[in-house]
Amino acid sequence: MQIEARLFADDGETPNHPTLPLVIMRGSGVVAEDDPAGWFEERFASHDWKAAWRWGVYPYHHFHTTNHEVLGVVIGEARLMLGGAHGEEFIIRPGDVIVIPAGVGHKCLEASDDFLVVGAYPRGEKPDLVKSSGHAADRQRIAAVPLPAEDPLQGADGPLFDHWKA
């Protein structure tokens, strides 16, 4: 599995996370599965990333202040802007897993017609959805979101914790 990690600065509209980088895991092995969406749902849930949903990524910049998020790409391809308007563009493909820390902006710039992701959250908590914020209270909530107990793909000893530390 190839792993990319990016830490984005607060740009005044999108706070991003002060210490946790966005992590992209490429090559999860899901492409060999008969039911990749079900595989992601089961894998995420087994590591306490629950409240799974199937859809795409909103076509506007947004972030969450109350929890982290994982996206597993099931089918199709997309170009995402991650880290807010001043972030970085990424092409994502089937099998890619994006772990988005609280506060990190994400937006779909374009996607194939068949693009589908499975998303989930640590402990199954419901997220908020914020489009823009310069509020100190949002930054405080983001910094207070606890680390998940497990990597969404590989559990307690997964590669996420090579990049996310308390």
Helix (H) or strand (E) holding 43: helix 36-46
pLDDT at 29: 80
CA-angle at 158, arms to 108 and 130, nearest 5°: 30
Please count the residues of the chain: 166
pLDDT at 104: 98
* Domain ranges across the chain: 2-145
Give the pTM.
0.96
Q: What does each of the 166 residues of the chain score in pLDDT, given as a tens digit?
A: 999 999 999 999 999 999 999 999 998 888 778 999 999 999 999 999 999 999 999 999 999 999 999 999 999 999 999 999 999 999 999 999 999 999 999 999 999 999 999 999 999 999 999 998 778 999 999 999 999 999 999 999 999 999 998 7
Give every CB contact of residue 144 below 8 A, 6+ residues apart in sequence.
none
User: CA–CA separation, 96 vs 107, rounded Å?
Assistant: 16
User: CA–CA separation, 49 vs 69, rounded Å?
Assistant: 8
- For the domain covering 2-145, report its CATH number: 2.60.120.10
